[in-house]
Structure 1
């Protein structure tokens, strides 16, 4: 069995009603914190470090929780919208080898070297398989990308504005009372820039374009571990180690996020390019 499929089966068993109903390693605790703190907000934006093994597990747990009792949940991923047809086909499939190969070889997943910014990992493919399993069990789940093509990146401002437009369109198309989760890089999830942010991070971010919506922005951090960074070259970088801490909610009008949550640890996932 290929590694990413083995991971998918493992994750699915953790979030789909088997004995291991809550993922190990504190992911389940963090998911509980997010559900509690986000409350009735219908648009929950999760600001992540790309390329970790734990964040897909966290979002899988959230999708399972939010889709209980016939609730409708939609997920936005930082993938080009041109991938949406392939995503939809896979989610409707039986997840067999042909379906997996079709998804794995679509343009987004076939990048090499410096383009490997962490969004393309076997952990993310396993996560998509978990969502397919949930749908097959009758959950009202749908997934779509909201990003633009890499070749269309003009500037960070233009890209964030375009992504916000796509997220807004997807949110406005939600069924009545449905909830939408959006997984994105932690800069895109910022409501306002940090006061001491460098000039290149002072632009209006995706979340800042959506402040009129019932949005709740979550910064997903960790107490220790490694994340994937693309800073010539792309590589694993250590996180600053912190003592255990509770979520930190922000209330200032110019806050960067609504809350910071802390996983016990983050580790770099397995990139799709061997």
Structure 2
């Protein structure tokens, strides 16, 4: 029994190390191409284990030399006071309860788009720990409530909020934005369905020093909603390196393919 336990523990640790190594590799590919762009927009497939690890690695890399890093997450702005308090806390049980107990995180079924996960909460905790060690890191939500159900209205408001936040970022700082892959597009893709927003969020920010990255994977699953929220498969891709796109009609400035994606641990599934 003990040998089985040791073998299982070793396997879990090995898998965790492999995922972390893949995050480091992908982060290196992104940093290689983003140069000095001040706003880096990452277009993700929601609800994965790997993307929060990638974001953590990028924040760690960019902040290591003392550069201030401002991370904007696709969370409601109403979460910002609690996020600010948590980042300044000791990360103890009382602070975790205040963060985790917010209505945004305390969903009781799996019918949400994957932005709420224990993996995202672990990312926030990791950044709190980095900040406690002296890193210049801030984390905010930029999602804006809208009542008309119009996707374009939401993208307009999120773009306006990111523009406002960008103006607050000090010179020499780096702003990272994690968002859904459609919001990160520099223009509406040809042949998109009529209900898709005409101008995605990132396309409204092109006058800023923005660099948009499409996060893809060679295989695996993410958590998505199209009527029903469920695990959805990533189209299989052969192993490939990053692809820079400079065409006037491009959706992203850079495409990267992680080795795989897996569905994260949803909060209170």
Q: Using structure 1 for the length normalisation, give the TM-score.
A: 0.89
Task: Tell me, yes or no, if structure 1 residue 184 matches structure 2 residue 179.
Answer: yes
What are the residue-to-residue correspondences of 1:109-128 with 2, within 5 Å? Answer: 109-113=105-109, 115-128=111-124
SS at 1:77's partner residue?
strand
Distance in 2 (alpha carbons) for counterparts of 1:121 and 1:209: 28
Distance in 2 (alpha carbons) for counterparts of 1:131 and 1:222: 25
Question: Which residue, 249, 252, 272 being the options, matches 2:247?
Answer: 252
Aligned residues of 1:25 and 1:264 also touching (Cα < 8 A): no
Distance in 2 (alpha carbons) for counterparts of 1:115 and 1:158: 23
Report what 2:25 is aligned to: 29
Deviation of the 1:46 alpha carbon: 0.1
SS at 2:165's partner residue?
helix
Question: Which residue, 70, 77, 83 being the options, matches 1:81?
Answer: 77
Question: Which residue, 189, 204, 218 being the options, matches 2:199?
Answer: 204
Deviation of the 1:217 alpha carbon: 0.3
Deviation of the 1:200 alpha carbon: 2.0
Report what 2:224 is aligned to: 229
Deviation of the 1:114 alpha carbon: 6.0
Deviation of the 1:196 alpha carbon: 2.1
Report what 1:51 is aligned to: 47
Root-mean-square deviation (CA, aligned residues, Å) is 1.9
Q: How many residues are matched?
A: 256
Distance in 2 (alpha carbons) for counterparts of 1:256 and 1:160: 16
Question: Which residue, 97, 105, 123 being the options, matches 2:101?
Answer: 105
Report what 2:65 is aligned to: 69
SS at 2:60's partner residue?
helix
Structure 1: runs of 5+ lacking an equivalent: 1-9, 15-19
Report what 1:241 is aligned to: 236
Distance in 2 (alpha carbons) for counterparts of 1:255 and 1:200: 21
Deviation of the 1:250 alpha carbon: 1.1
Q: Which of the pair has more CA radius of gyration?
A: 2
SS at 1:132's partner residue?
helix
Aligned residues of 1:114 and 1:233 also touching (Cα < 8 A): no
Report what 1:132 is aligned to: 128
Aligned residues of 2:20 and 2:53 also touching (Cα < 8 A): no
Aligned residues of 2:151 and 2:197 also touching (Cα < 8 A): no
* Cα 1:81/1:202, change in 2 over 3 Å: closer
Aligned residues of 1:223 and 1:263 also touching (Cα < 8 A): yes
Distance in 1 (alpha carbons) for counterparts of 2:208 and 2:183: 16
Distance in 2 (alpha carbons) for counterparts of 1:148 and 1:114: 22
Task: Tell me, yes or no, if structure 1 residue 142 matches structure 2 residue 123.
Answer: no
Q: Using structure 2 for the length normalisation, give the TM-score.
A: 0.91
SS at 1:119's partner residue?
coil
Distance in 2 (alpha carbons) for counterparts of 1:215 and 1:182: 10
